[in-house]
Amino acid sequence: MKSFYLSLFFVFFLTTSAAAVININTASLEELTSLPGIGQVKAESIIKYREEKGLFQKVDELKNVYGIGAKIVARLKDEITVGEADPAVAVTIVEKQTAQKVPEEHTASKSPAKK
Domain parsing of the chain, residue ranges: 18-100
pLDDT band at 10 (very low <50, low <70, confident <90, very high): low
What is this structure's pTM?
0.58
Rounded Cα–Cα distance for residues 11 and 34 (Å): 23
**What's the rounded Cα separation, in Å, for the pair 25 and 58?**
10
Strand pairing report for 80-81 and 22-23: parallel
pLDDT at 48 exceeding the cut of 90: yes
Separation of alpha carbons 76 and 95, rounded Å: 30
Q: With contact defined as beta carbons under 8 Å apart, do 45 and 56 qualify?
A: no
**pLDDT value at residue 17:** 46
Report pLDDT digits (tens) over 50-93.
999 999 999 999 999 999 999 999 999 999 999 864 545 445 55
Supply the pLDDT for residue 83: 87
Give the CATH superfamily of 18-100: Photosystem II 12 kDa extrinsic protein (1.10.150.320)
